[in-house]
Amino acid sequence: MPWLAVPYTDEARRSRLNRLYGIQGIPTLIVLDPQGEVITRQGRVEVLNDEDCRGFPWHPKPVLELSDSNAVQLNEGPCLVLFVDSEDDGESEAAKQLIQPIAEKIIAKYKAKEEEAPLLFFVAGEDDMTDSLRDYTNLPEAAPLLTILDMSARAKYVMDVEEITPAIVEAFVNDFLAEKLKPEPI
């Protein structure tokens, strides 16, 4: 562990940092820039996925491919998840490219206001993780399937259309942010 860490026995400092950064559990690795601004709250996940630290300091990607190691992020707040009907990386990559401009636009809008983006963005292929998520949230097997999952509120928003286009994704996100969508229980 080549980085600075707060000793577990230093309860006063740990308590201040827990409040400052909203830390809910351990282990937690938050990566800061030299000015003390958060680069990522997912340092632990990044280290597990990048043991050689090639992507350090792990600036957040606008769109993530859902995996066992990053699924914990689904609990952080509302997440747009685009389910695709293929184990083929080509389809997942095309889905990421489809939603990336929308994700970047939302992230930039909130960053300009010095706020965290209200959504995380994921693409989910066909694997055991995705099957478990569909089962847990009682989602249909349809693909493509555009959803917003809010695990903490135990709510889901589903757009089941034949074809997912950037305009459909953007309208879905904007309606969600404007609270125009009716949640379904998870």
Cα–Cα distance measured from residue 156 to residue 172, given in angstroms and rounded to the nearest whole number: 13
pLDDT, tens only, 24-39: 777 888 899 888 888 8
Please give the pLDDT value at position 185.
97
Are 46 and 105 in the same domain?
no
pLDDT, tens only, 87-116: 666 788 899 999 999 999 999 999 899 888
Question: What is the CB neighbour count within 10 angstroms for residue 45?
Answer: 19
Does the pLDDT of residue 10 top 90, yes or no?
yes
**Whole-number percent of the chain with pLDDT over 70:** 96
Q: Which of 19, 37, 59 is the last residue of a domain?
A: 59
What residues make up the domain containing 178?
A: 60-183
Q: Which of 59, 74, 94 is the last residue of a domain?
A: 59
Domain harbouring 31, CATH code: 3.40.30.10
Are 6 and 83 in the same domain?
no
Are 44 and 114 in the same domain?
no
Per DSSP, the residues of 77-99 read S-EEEEE-S-S-HHHHHHHHHHH
